[in-house]
Amino acid sequence: METEGRVVMSDQKLTGADIVLKALRDQGVELIFGYPGGAVLPIYDALFKQNDLRHILVRHEQAAVHAAEGYARSTGKVGCVLVTSGPGATNAVTGLTDALMDSIPIVCLTGQVPTHLIGNDAFQEADTTGITRPCTKHNYLVKDVRNLARVIHEGFYVARSGRPGPVVIDIPKDVQFAEGPYVGPHEIRHKSYRPQVKPELAKVEEAIELIANAKRPIFYTGGGVVNSGPLASKLLTQFVHMTGYPCTNTLMGLGAFPASDPLFLGMLGMHGTYEANLAMHGCDVMICIGARFDDRVTGKISEFAPGSKKIHVDIDPSSINKNVAVDLAIIGDAGHVLEDMIRIWKARQKRPDQAALKAWWAQIELWRKRDCLRYQKTDRIIKPQYAIERLRDAIRGIDHYITTEVGQHQMWAAQFLPFEQPNRWLTSGGLGTMGYGLPAAIGCQLAHPESLVVDVAGEASIMMNIQEMSTAVQYRTPVKVFILNNQYMGMVRQWQELLHGSRYSESYSEALPDFVKLAEAFGAVGLRASKVSEVDDVIAEMIRVKQPVIVDMCVDPKENCFPMIPGGRAHNDILLGPSDTTEDATPEEGMVLV
Amino acid sequence: MPNDLNAKIEKHTIAVVVDNEPGVLARVIGLFSGRGYNIESLTVSEVDPVQRLSRITIVTSGTRMVIEQIKAQLDRLVPIHKVRDLSDDEKPCIERELALVKVVGTGEKRIEALRLADIFKARVVDATLTSFVFEITGTGDELNEFAGLMSQLGMIETSRTGIVAIGRGPGGF
């Protein structure tokens, strides 16, 4: 089946399995994350006979999707997954939902039972397109091999265009065996899907007037800037500098604006900085670019940035006015919109109101002086924040990527680690998937073999996909699992402490493994620090070892993550530390919020 | 929506042109159930066999913010070509629904049923000595009214198509 390097005429026939691989190659796929099974054996057989596409065998299909997400998020390319029918597909569902929530481009190929068995409850049959319909941007069941090449190219187009997302292509086994024609990616034009990427200029002009006349402005920017590509981050930085306005990032947007920039206020939201949240609360013009007014960002909607004019730039029209009514909506890709904003700002020779801006910054400096990320430093016990700070200092100057699991450690990483560039911070934001970080780190490491990739983890989260240590060892991906081990599902415990009378229902991590021995059992390196004096040495050793490493950082089990805006509260109700914690931290209606 | 707790609930008729491919209807219905929107009526049929396009007519209700959200959510579904809110037209759109109504009875009630059917311009499409099946076309309200009267005259079964709608004037979709 030698077809490379030649124009494939439509009368040339390939098997479905070969069409799949050829289409993937033509889409620029280098890595496939997957797990074989009965219904994808023809594709695995075709994989065996070629050397262009590298297959990474994960240990659970959920991890295949997270690894592809790590690859996609750190490269800007589409991540590719291959799993079998039934349990293969259902196991992938969490990863697909994660990618949907965080707008990560993924194409997931699933095997399916042969077409004549569909609907018969065949062995390992599941209604994959039915199950994945709400957790994908789009999905397909290919019943005819003549449509296969077109559908795969279309799938990649849909996954990466507009607001990116996961696409499932379900391929019955008989279609993989059948012979059909191949069409290349350039012969495909989608019938209906053409998302708007260029903004309406009149709207951008209107926005520029609002921005230029602002007295207390703030840029609130998110993952949409990262998804637009590195140029969008450069343009954002340029535009923010032209205005001199403060800028805050969402969890998904960290790195889109350099953390070290004096105009940066840090992350906003539930565990965001005091200055970012108070600036959001007090602003008169909010410039939201590629963020979606998530409940973790807005807090109490009715008291969110009261009295402010809100400009919302988003590629997805359904994000507009979904949670918060805005005054000016601009549909378009963040990069294109920023380009137009800069051009119009320059052409109209706009100058910010310097007197107002000076007063605004003076106010922000007062908020900054609260030093909201301070914590009690001690030699007695390793504070989790201290461990992250030492990690931060140790990796400064080393080319690195950070992934996380979900919980307190994730928030501390977001607060304390500075991201100067986009695509360096990989975390499960929307879905909050424990178990995301290790497979995402593996996917990221495979894309960046020379870089340092650290999964900042918790001891509970890491157990959700710990089996992927085996993948890391097999492919010699020297990922570093940096566990802040506080022996609790820390964020659950924190909420129980604040909202449920310190009744720590099921949140204690009972019967934990010895993580050092566990690492060794996988053939990786295990390190432990239980005293403050050991922290630096362990981190240095972790970086030095060119192998997968698990670090068991035994931290203060009682530490909570501050600042915190309790559920149902407004930005200015932020709690700065344990002493701020009051009995009625959360109103009744806030209790029901998650 | 927390923003507009006191906002008025509006009823809207939305027309959607989609690719006639498997799963499209499930996608639309799943969107409504998954996001908690109301469906008061939903009809679908192929309207362009050459391009294989179907038209879905949805009657839904919600605050203005929710209606806008429904339209945006529909529009972002990949196989959807066009979304149009017919209730946003200057003139109210034309809405029609068809019902088949089976009425069983004899004597005076039977005669009264036939008389009312005539007034409502319903056609008899099946008749026995003890029953009629009427076919009636009209707005939802007209059909409700007809069914209300017939229920007192021996109506035992009714089947309705749901609403189809089209805008007035020379403008197309």
Q: In this structure, what CATH number is given to the domain that contains residue A302?
A: 3.40.50.1220
Do A352 and A390 lie in one domain? The reply is no
Do B58 and B129 lie in one domain? The reply is no
Q: Picking from A319-323, A378-382, B86-90, B121-125, which range would have the lowest pLDDT averaged per residue? A: B86-90
Do A238 and A139 lie in one domain? The reply is no
Q: Does residue B122 or residue B172 have the better pLDDT?
A: B122
Contact A191 B65 (CB under 8 A): no
* Cα A367 from chain centre: 29
Q: Considering A187, A217, A243, which residue would you say is the last residue of a domain?
A: A187
Question: What is the reported pLDDT for B89?
Answer: 82
Please state the domain count of chain A. 3
Q: Considering B64, B88, B112, which residue would you say is the last residue of a domain?
A: B88
Please state the domain count of chain B. 2
A100 in a structural domain: yes
Do A210 and A255 lie in one domain? The reply is yes
Question: What is the reported pLDDT for B152?
Answer: 96
Do B58 and B128 lie in one domain? The reply is no
Question: What is the reported pLDDT for A588?
Answer: 60
Distance CA A513, CA A528 (A): 13
Do B77 and B108 lie in one domain? The reply is no
* B15 beta partners: B57, B84
* A387 beta partners: none
Contact B72 A318 (CB under 8 A): yes
Is B65 in the A-facing interface, judged by CB distances under 8 Å? Answer: yes
Do A181 and A251 lie in one domain? The reply is no
* A264 beta partners: A247
Query: Is A255 in contact with A422 (CB distance < 8 Å)?
Result: yes
Partner-chain residue, chosen from A130, A316, A321, that has the shortest CB–CB distance to B76: A316
Q: How crowded is residue A202: how many other Cβ atoms within 10 Å of its Cβ? A: 9
Farthest-apart Cα atoms in chain A, separation: 75
Q: In this structure, what CATH number is given to the domain that contains residue A507?
A: 3.40.50.970
Q: How many CB pairs (< 8 A) connect A and B?
A: 51
Q: Which residues of B touch A317 (CB under 8 A)?
A: 72, 75-76
Q: Considering A163, A187, A211, which residue would you say is the last residue of a domain?
A: A187
Question: What is the reported pLDDT for A452?
Answer: 98
Do B46 and B120 lie in one domain? The reply is no
Contact A133 B27 (CB under 8 A): yes
ipTM of this predicted structure: 0.90
Q: Considering B59, B88, B117, which residue would you say is the last residue of a domain?
A: B88
Do A89 and A34 lie in one domain? The reply is yes
Consecutive H or E run containing A99: helix A87-101
B84 in a structural domain: yes
Do B39 and B66 lie in one domain? The reply is yes
**Strand pairing report for A106-112 and B123-127:** unpaired
Alpha helices, DSSP H, located in A369-489: 384-395, 408-416, 437-447, 459-462, 469-474
Distance CA A99, CA B44 (A): 31
Distance from A15 to chain B by nearest Cα, in Å? 24
Do B80 and B111 lie in one domain? The reply is no
Per-residue pLDDT of chain A (594 residues; tens, 9 = 90+): 344 444 445 567 999 999 999 999 999 999 999 999 999 999 999 999 999 999 999 999 999 999 999 999 999 999 999 999 999 999 999 999 999 999 999 999 999 999 999 999 999 999 999 999 999 999 999 999 999 999 999 999 999 999 999 999 999 999 999 999 999 998 888 988 999 999 999 999 999 999 999 999 999 999 999 999 999 999 999 999 999 999 999 999 999 999 999 999 999 999 999 999 999 999 999 999 999 999 999 999 999 999 999 999 999 999 999 999 999 999 999 999 999 999 999 999 999 999 999 999 999 999 999 999 999 999 999 999 999 999 999 999 999 999 999 999 999 999 999 999 999 999 999 999 999 999 999 999 999 999 999 999 999 999 999 999 999 999 999 999 999 999 999 999 999 998 899 999 999 999 999 999 999 999 999 999 999 999 999 999 999 999 999 999 999 999 999 999 988 888 888 999 887 765 455 556 666 666
B172 in a structural domain: no
Question: What is the reported pLDDT for B171?
Answer: 85
Partner-chain residue, chosen from A130, A302, A322, that has the shortest CB–CB distance to B69: A322
Torsion sign (Cα): B19, B24, B25, B28: negative
Question: What is the reported pLDDT for A587?
Answer: 58
Do A519 and A388 lie in one domain? The reply is yes
Q: Considering B57, B88, B119, which residue would you say is the last residue of a domain?
A: B88
Q: In this structure, what CATH number is given to the domain that contains residue B22?
A: 3.30.70.260
Distance CA B30, CA B73 (A): 11
Do A258 and A150 lie in one domain? The reply is no
Do B64 and B116 lie in one domain? The reply is no
Q: Span B14-28, mean pLDDT?
A: 95
Do B7 and B80 lie in one domain? The reply is yes
Query: Is A406 in contact with A433 (CB distance < 8 Å)?
Result: yes
Do B12 and B77 lie in one domain? The reply is yes
Question: What is the reported pLDDT for A591?
Answer: 63
Residue A159 backbone phi and psi in degrees, to 5: -60, -40
Question: What is the reported pLDDT for A1?
Answer: 38
Q: Span B20-42, mean pLDDT?
A: 95
Q: Look up residue A109 and give its amino acid.
A: L
Q: Can you read off the two tokens belonging to residue A174?
A: 């008989």
Distance from A194 to chain B by nearest Cα, in Å? 9
B80 in a structural domain: yes
Do A336 and A424 lie in one domain? The reply is no
B173 in a structural domain: no
Question: At what angle are helices A16-26 and A41-48 packed, to 10 degrees?
Answer: 60
Do A394 and A540 lie in one domain? The reply is yes
Do B144 and B73 lie in one domain? The reply is no
Alpha helices, DSSP H, located in chain B: 24-34, 64-75, 108-119, 140-150
Long-range contacts of A150-156 (CB under 8 A, 24+ apart): A150/A183, A150/A188, A152/A19, A152/A20, A152/A23, A152/A24, A152/A27, A152/A107, A152/A109, A153/A23, A153/A26, A153/A27, A153/A183, A153/A184, A153/A185, A153/A188, A154/A188, A154/A190, A155/A107, A156/A27, A156/A78, A156/A107, A156/A185
Distance CA B152, CA B105 (A): 11
In this predicted structure, the answer to whether residue B151 has a pLDDT above a threshold of 80 is yes
Is B2 in the A-facing interface, judged by CB distances under 8 Å? Answer: yes
Query: Is B150 in contact with B101 (CB distance < 8 Å)?
Result: yes
Partner-chain residue, chosen from B1, B2, B23, that has the shortest CB–CB distance to A133: B23
Q: Which domain holds residue B79?
A: 2-88
Query: Is A54 in contact with A30 (CB distance < 8 Å)?
Result: yes
Contact A192 B26 (CB under 8 A): no
Give the dihedral of Cα atoms B160, B162, B163, B164; nearest 10 deg: -100
Q: Which domain holds residue A254?
A: 201-368
Do A50 and A128 lie in one domain? The reply is yes
- Residue A291's nearest CA partner among A257, A263, A251 is A251
Is B72 in the A-facing interface, judged by CB distances under 8 Å? Answer: yes
- Residue A261's nearest CA partner among A209, A219, A291, A293 is A219
* B103 beta partners: B132, B155
DSSP assignment of A50-85, as one string? -SSSEEEE-SSHHHHHHHHHHHHHHHSSPEEEEE-S
Do A231 and A346 lie in one domain? The reply is yes
Query: Counting Cβ atoms within 10 Å, is residue A253 exposed (0-12), middle (13-18) or buried (19+)?
Result: buried
Residue A275 backbone phi and psi in degrees, to 5: -65, -40
**A192, A319, A323, A569: best mutation site toward chain B, by most B Cβ within 10 Å?**
A192
Instruction: Provide the terminal-to-terminal Cα distance of chain B, rounded to the nearest Å.
Output: 30
Query: Is B45 in contact with B91 (CB distance < 8 Å)?
Result: no
A576 in a structural domain: no
Please give the positions of A annotated as active site.
Answer: 61, 123-124, 173, 491
Angle subtended at Cα A424 by Cα A418 and Cα A425, rounded to the nearest 5 degrees: 70
A195 in a structural domain: no
Do B106 and B153 lie in one domain? The reply is yes
Q: Which residues of B touch A129 (CB under 8 A)?
A: 23
Q: Which residues of A touch B65 (CB under 8 A)?
A: 321, 325
Is B27 in the A-facing interface, judged by CB distances under 8 Å? Answer: yes
Please report the beta strands in B37-128, taking only residues with DSSP state E, as ranges in sequence order: 41-48, 53-62, 80-85, 94-104, 123-127
Q: How crowded is residue B106: how many other Cβ atoms within 10 Å of its Cβ? A: 11
Place of tokens 């499409």: B125
Place of tokens 């993952």: A223
Place of tokens 């806008």: B68
Distance CA A440, CA A405 (A): 9
Check residue B70 and give left, alpha or beta (phi > 0: left; psi -120 to 50: alpha).
alpha
Question: What is the reported pLDDT for A2?
Answer: 41
Distance from A157 to chain B by nearest Cα, in Å? 11
Question: What is the reported pLDDT for A590?
Answer: 61
Please report the beta strands in A203-251, taking only residues with DSSP state E, as ranges in sequence order: 217-221, 247-249
Consecutive H or E run containing A553: strand A549-554
Contact B30 A133 (CB under 8 A): yes
Residues of A with CB under 8 A from a CB of B: 129-130, 133-134, 137-139, 141, 158, 162-163, 191-193, 301-302, 316-318, 320-325
A196 in a structural domain: no
DSSP assignment of A296-342, as one string? HHHSSGGGSSTT-EEEEEES-GGGTTSSS--SEEEES-HHHHHHHHH
In this predicted structure, the answer to whether residue B11 has a pLDDT above a threshold of 90 is yes
A329 in a structural domain: yes
Query: Is A279 in contact with A574 (CB distance < 8 Å)?
Result: no
Partner-chain residue, chosen from B26, B73, B78, that has the shortest CB–CB distance to A137: B78
A456 in a structural domain: yes
Contact A129 B23 (CB under 8 A): yes
Among chain A residues, the shortest Cα distance to B72 is held by: A318
Do A33 and A88 lie in one domain? The reply is yes
Partner-chain residue, chosen from B22, B30, B65, that has the shortest CB–CB distance to A134: B30
Q: Which residues of B touch A321 (CB under 8 A)?
A: 65, 68-69
Contact A129 B76 (CB under 8 A): no
Do B10 and B77 lie in one domain? The reply is yes
Distance from A125 to chain B by nearest Cα, in Å? 18
- Residue A374's nearest CA partner among A276, A273, A458, A487 is A273
Q: Can you read off the two tokens belonging to residue A281?
A: 């609360």
Q: In this structure, what CATH number is given to the domain that contains residue B98?
A: 3.30.70.1150
B119 in a structural domain: yes
